[in-house]
Amino acid sequence: MEQTDDELDFAETDVRSEDMSNDAHTGQEVNSNSGHEEKVAHPDNPVVIKIGGARAVDPADAVEDIATLVADGRDIIVVHGGSTAVDKTLEALGEEPTYVETPQGIVGRFTDERTMEVFSMVLPGKINTDLTVSLQSAGVNALGLSGVDGELLCGPRKSAVRIVEDGRKKIKRGDHSGMIKTVNESLLTTLLQNDYTPVVTVPMLADDGVAVNADADRAAAAIAGALSGELVVLTDVAGVYRDPDTESTLIESVQTPAEFDILNDVAEGFMTKKIMAAEEALNSGATTVIIANANAAEPITAALAGRGTHIDTNAVESEMNVIDTQEQTQ
């Protein structure tokens, strides 16, 4: 069977990095808005916080800051990854993680069946539980979810990916990953309205009913877009730099398409996928995206107050359609 280009595009997987309604729910399609005038950041908009899984990221400050923000009445949704923990677990089991490079030069994980099993154990089973417990201990009414719960994150599976190996373009099959196309916005809204703080992780639910891997940055982007929220991506650096070796070259504000092009040009390594996620978030309804240091004091409050790299909705040009809301029966 001939596969489409969409099926063969690189899977929505982790880049090597720092790394309730009763009968129906609203599946918010992750499409885009060609006009940005209606997207306005407001304290009533939820803040989606992506906590990175790099070895250098300590979530303790973020947990305390989330507790403060929730106590002040802010709606918070936490999204986390855990690529580093998955790699460590694979290595402890005597197996090597597999990373591949796309023709576009993006390096990402190839998720075979065994790796998918480890993902399911480590992310929703271990990391999500630990983070939810930490938030509960800080006084937050946290509720852990994976993307398969309540069909929270859904989309098509990508069983094959385009890669470059030994200088040659190839198609590698057997991947267990997918692209998030819909977000169960009403599930998250219901939780927030009942004073829960959702703590979300992959896997997502593929169209064929199978749990598959998805990139956590892009999962956070999809959620922020669906809820017209602010997205704060916490990582192990202070933001995006023109020169990663020079702190004074931090890009603090990105307000025009020309400035966004510069951001794309200077992003390297794991930051490339974060910029991609930022663009997707803004295209699908998010009001702003901030990339900031997870290890700063009060990292989220500081980011919302101006620290880090702030990407404005007007920095992204979109030719896609306005978001549609579709009712899906469970």
203 vs 31, more confident? 203
Mean pLDDT of 216-222: 97
In 3D, which of 195, 121, 123, 187 has the Cα closest to residue 151? 187
Measured CA distances, 280 to 83, 172, 200, 301, 309 (Å): 21, 25, 18, 23, 16
* Contact of 7 with 159, CB cutoff 8 Å: yes
In 3D, which of 206, 208, 216, 241 has the Cα closest to residue 82? 216
CATH of the domain at 278: 3.40.1160.10
pLDDT at 158 over 90: no
pLDDT at 92: 95
Domain for residue 115, yes or no?
Answer: no
Domain for residue 112, yes or no?
Answer: no
Mean pLDDT of 313-329: 54
44 vs 243, more confident? 243
Helices and strands in the chain: count of H runs, count of E runs: 10, 20
* Contact of 230 with 303, CB cutoff 8 Å: no
DSSP 128: H
Q: How far apart are CA 159 and CA 176, in angstroms?
A: 6
pLDDT at 57: 75
* Bridge partners, residue 25, by sequence: 328
pLDDT at 65 over 50: yes
In 3D, which of 152, 137, 116, 153 has the Cα closest to residue 59? 137
Report residue 1's pLDDT band, with 50, 70 and 90 as the boundaries: very low
Number of domains in the chain: 1
Peptide bond into 198 cis (omega under 30): no
SS3 of residue 327 by DSSP: strand
- 259: Cβ–Cβ under 8 A, 6 or more apart, which residues? 251, 253, 315
In 3D, which of 278, 310, 308 has the Cα closest to residue 295? 308
pLDDT at 4 over 60: no
Domain for residue 164, yes or no?
Answer: no
283 marked as part of a ligand binding site: no
pLDDT at 6 over 90: no
Q: CA triplet 292, 227, 190: central angle to 5 degrees? A: 120
Domain for residue 169, yes or no?
Answer: no
Q: Residue 253 — φ and ψ, nearest 5°?
A: -140, 135
pLDDT at 142: 98
pLDDT at 150: 97
Q: Strands 76-80 and 197-201: what pairing?
A: parallel
Q: Strands 153-155 and 204-206: what pairing?
A: parallel
pLDDT at 330: 32
Of 27-36, 47-56, 289-298, which range is least confident?
27-36
Domain for residue 261, yes or no?
Answer: yes
SS3 of residue 207 by DSSP: coil
11 vs 140, more confident? 140
pLDDT at 14 over 50: no
Of 9-13, 68-72, 131-135, 296-300, which range is least confident?
9-13
* Length, in residues, of the chain: 330
pLDDT at 123: 94
Domain for residue 172, yes or no?
Answer: no
Domain for residue 103, yes or no?
Answer: no
Domain for residue 69, yes or no?
Answer: yes
Q: Which domain holds residue 295?
A: 22-94+121-157+179-329
Of 16-30, 56-70, 218-232, 238-252, which range is least confident?
16-30
Mean pLDDT of 249-272: 93
pLDDT at 71: 97
109 marked as part of a ligand binding site: yes
Percent of the chain with pLDDT over 70: 82
Mean pLDDT of 157-169: 86
pLDDT at 56: 65
Mean pLDDT of 236-255: 93
